[in-house]
Amino acid sequence: MATFGTLSDRLVETFKNLRTKGRLSASDVDGTVREIRRALLEADVALEVVKKFTADVRERALSDEVNKALNPAQQVVQIVNEELVAILGGEQRKLQFAKTPPSVIMLAGLQGSGKTTFAGKLAKKLKDDGHTPLLIAADLQRPNAVNQLQVVGEQAGATVYAPEPGNGVGDPVKVARSGVEFARQKQHDIVIIDTAGRLGVDEELMKQASKIRRATDPDEVLFVIDSLTGQDAVNTARAFQEGVDFTGVVLSKLDGDSKGGAALSVASVTGRPIIFASNGETLDALEEFHPDRMASRILDLGDVLTLIEQAQRTFDQEEAQKVAEKLAKEAFTLDDFLEQMQQVKKMGSMKKMLGMLPGMGSQMKQQLEGFDDSEIDRTEAIIRGMTPAERHNTRILNGSRRARIARGSGVTVTEVNQLVNRFEQAAKMMKKVARGESTGIPGMGTIPGQKTGASTKRGKKGKKAKHVGGQSGNPAKRAAQASGQPPAQPSGSGFGLGAAAAPEAPNETDMAEIQKLFGK
């Protein structure tokens, strides 16, 4: 479950009750605001934030603008969305760099908040953007903190400045100051200082952090806070703001199963923007924080823009073009399938990506929970257990070959058979796409501009054969005709979501197709 899973479910359920009303009365608005208040309080949002938020929503929901709207329920959802964006900071704020390098970024926060891991993630992101970051190990108190930073620094491909062993040895202020000078000499354009934390806010922690700030004069002081903290997040943030002050907030562990109140409270209470959201264990799991996109996720409206940006960062356009050209001329092989899976893996968790699509949070919650990302690794192991000839032509996979592949990849022969069957179906679909035909995926229909894949002449012949005696050639439709009932019509768009409003019962067919393709 995502951090905002429970809150999102409550809000979506609240708005669903409004959709049946053509006009909203004052009692309808009060009831909705009451449910929103309860949902926010259960999510551990600070009371002062809840009071202001619900008061603003109520005032706007009772306005003439909503009363005169053609769809009052949608207007209320829009109001809640705009108010959520406001308490999350309004507009996105990016890191600010010094005019003269190096830019100094100091990290502050309690012990266990995820500062060191975030330091590695930020270093990797900055390095990927063309910078030369230097990590400074100024947390000399926590056991093995210096070693941990060296490990994440190596994973990120960044230099780590660690003159002291730590574990209670060394002067962190001196290390921070000399580290900035080292960066200047070695021409590192960005410095990231990992400072010590405590299990709780105390005077010694604040003094040390204040001394490091005065010694290094950082361009950014980022307060890293654990998204699982709940109500205590507000008190901790205020204490750091008074003791050290910070320029921005980083939400760590945003992928955890928590109530999410910290994210909805800190920016509003402190007046400092949330700049990054850390949402996974890998060093790639770091997002720039967009208040409008996060509000959309909370209201289950999706976050397609972030999904597109992740795809643009990870997919090789030249490679994709080569695959497209190859498909137009040759067969889709297991080697191609393996390459495409590896591209998808670079984007991160499949469950997380699917959750960014509109309506997936509430409509497909159980299916998303059951989606196992490790199935992709298992599928990859099976393919790698094949010879080049077997990957190129699955028709040569007889019983003994399949048994050998199963033993080599640590799976059963049944799983090998299932993969081959799924792949052959996927290959047929890819070939249709390459020829511009309809894919035949349930709920997707024919893409505008696509060819039907059959000539007009052939289609006419088929039509005559199909409707001999006034009966449909489709068994399901023919049975419906015989019973006197109209045939069932497909509803919804991709992933079972309706175009105007989500159906009461979600269509699970498309989710099943996705799970089949990746090994569920």
| CA distance linking residue 364 with residue 247, whole number of Å | 38
293 is in an annotated binding site: no
483 is in an annotated binding site: no
109 is in an annotated binding site: yes
112 is in an annotated binding site: yes
253 is in an annotated binding site: yes
Element (H, E) at 57: helix 47-61
Longest dimension (CA), the chain: 92
Please state, as a whole number, how many other Cβ atoms lie within 10 Å of the Cβ of residue 130: 7
194 is in an annotated binding site: yes
3 is in an annotated binding site: no
Pairing mode of beta strands 159-161, 103-108: unpaired
Q: What is the CA radius of gyration of the chain?
A: 28
Phi/psi at 108 (5° precision):
-135, 155
113 is in an annotated binding site: yes
Q: Which 3 state secondary structure label does DSSP give 357?
A: coil
196 is in an annotated binding site: yes
- Find how far residue 495's CA is from the centre of its chain: 17
111 is in an annotated binding site: yes
70 is in an annotated binding site: no
198 is in an annotated binding site: yes
| CA distance linking residue 246 with residue 403, whole number of Å | 60
Please state, as a whole number, how many other Cβ atoms lie within 10 Å of the Cβ of residue 342: 12
110 is in an annotated binding site: yes
The per-type count for the chain, helices as H runs and strands as E runs, is: 25, 8
User: What separation, in Å, do the N-terminal and C-terminal C-alpha atoms of the chain show?
Assistant: 19
> Interior CA angle at 96 toward 184 and 285, to 5°?
95
Per the annotation, binding residues for GTP are 109-116, 194-198, 252-255
Per the annotation, binding residues are 109-116, 194-198, 252-255
